[in-house]
Amino acid sequence: MLLEKSISDLMKKCSIEFGMAVVLIYEQLPESLLNSFSFEQWLNVYKWTKKGSNIEKIALEKISQFTKTLEQWIEIYNQSARENKTKKLAYQKIYYCAENKKKWLNVYNRVSTGSELKEIALEKLSNLNNKRFYQWVSAHDKTIPGGDLQKNAFKRLWNRARTFEEWLIIYDRTNKGSPIEKNALKRLWNRARTFEQLSQIHQRIISNVEFQNIIVEKMALRAKSLEEWIIIYEKTTKESPLEALALEKIKEHCKDYKINL
């Protein structure tokens, strides 16, 4: 308890983050306290370690004990500052986890535009199935906006797109409110099969509340996990039958826990 207070006091006195405070006094900290740190706390510790130091090795070892999904590492990558140690670690984890086309598509669609990892994902996809489609994506993004070369690249993409993920890439490159956007959205909608795919459409049409409600209803038909029902609850119209159903499903998932809803 005293050492925990020491960390807190050091953070306040020096106006530093948790991770830096731990790095400064970690040799005084008992194993029991180190074992109580969360994944996020160890990630913050790693951020402030020096390369090759003992605490860096300990932080990496502790981080590896937590099981994190590809999506979670992508989120960490997007939230980390450029040239940050945490961003580089997330990059390594993502590169290791994304071993097939589907996962590289997931990386490409989720990572921030203009990031190094987005370029890597596009390169990986260019070497997999529908190779020419992703080569045209690269050509489209590197040409002058609105120019003849970009228009030609977009036409090539349109003619080659087959999957939901490919139409998502096209939709993100349309002019919002245009007939082409509406056409691309229709093709995207017709190919949406999973909860995640429907969620990605929902995120992109924030100005169309009526269509958003239709999507949420379709998402509810596919919702299974607690996390998915929480998403339904947050996105659905308040005081609607679907909101009541979502709350009931959340209660069912939480029945083994002492949670008051």
When pLDDT is averaged across residues 241-259 and rounded to a whole number, the result is 80
Mean per-residue pLDDT over the chain, rounded: 85
Distance CA(261)–CA(240), nearest Å, equals 17
Total domains present in the chain? 2
- Kindly state whether residue 52 falls inside one of the protein's structural domains: yes
Q: What 3-state DSSP class applies to 255?
A: coil
Task: Dump pLDDT digits (tens) for 52-82.
Answer: 888 888 999 889 888 888 989 998 998 887 7
Does 169 lie in the same domain as 128?
yes
Confidence at 178, pLDDT banded by 50, 70, 90:
very high
Residue 240 has which token pair?
Answer: 């609607």
Last residue of a domain, one of 158, 179, 200: 179
Does 84 lie in the same domain as 14?
yes
Angle between helices 18-25 and 2-14 (to 10 degrees): 120
Residue 122 has which token pair?
Answer: 């596009």
Q: Which amino acid is at 248?
A: E
The whole-angstrom distance between residue 81's C-alpha and the CA centroid of its chain comes to 15
Confidence at 185, pLDDT banded by 50, 70, 90:
very high
| Residues 107 and 98: beta-carbon distance below 8 Å | yes
Distance CA(87)–CA(78), nearest Å, equals 8
- Kindly state whether residue 238 falls inside one of the protein's structural domains: no
Does 89 lie in the same domain as 102?
no
pTM of the model: 0.55
Whether residue 5 has pLDDT greater than 70: no
When pLDDT is averaged across residues 109-133 and rounded to a whole number, the result is 78
Domain range holding 13?
A: 6-64+76-97
Does 91 lie in the same domain as 149?
no
Task: Dump pLDDT digits (tens) for 135-154.
Answer: 888 888 888 888 888 888 89
| Per-residue confidence (pLDDT) for residue 188, from 0 to 100 | 93
- Kindly state whether residue 250 falls inside one of the protein's structural domains: no
- Kindly state whether residue 27 falls inside one of the protein's structural domains: yes
Does 23 lie in the same domain as 42?
yes
Distance CA(241)–CA(194), nearest Å, equals 22
- Kindly state whether residue 136 falls inside one of the protein's structural domains: yes
| Residues 140 and 173: beta-carbon distance below 8 Å | yes
Whether residue 198 has pLDDT greater than 90: yes
Q: Which amino acid is at 257?
A: Y
The whole-angstrom distance between residue 64's C-alpha and the CA centroid of its chain comes to 19
Whether residue 175 has pLDDT greater than 70: yes
| Residues 160 and 132: beta-carbon distance below 8 Å | yes
Last residue of a domain, one of 179, 200, 232: 179
Q: What are phi and psi of 128, to 5 degrees?
A: -110, -155
Does 82 lie in the same domain as 20?
yes
Does 93 lie in the same domain as 162?
no
Whether residue 186 has pLDDT greater than 60: yes
* Continuous H helices in the chain: 2-14, 18-25, 31-35, 39-47, 54-64, 70-79, 85-97, 101-110, 116-126, 131-142, 148-160, 164-171, 179-191, 195-204, 209-220, 226-235, 241-253
Does 153 lie in the same domain as 90?
no
- Kindly state whether residue 30 falls inside one of the protein's structural domains: yes
Does 38 lie in the same domain as 121?
no
Angle between helices 85-97 and 39-47 (to 10 degrees): 120
Share of the chain above pLDDT 70, in %: 93
Of 132, 39, 50, 37, residue with least CA distance to 85 = 50
Task: Dump pLDDT digits (tens) for 33-53.
Answer: 888 888 999 998 888 888 888
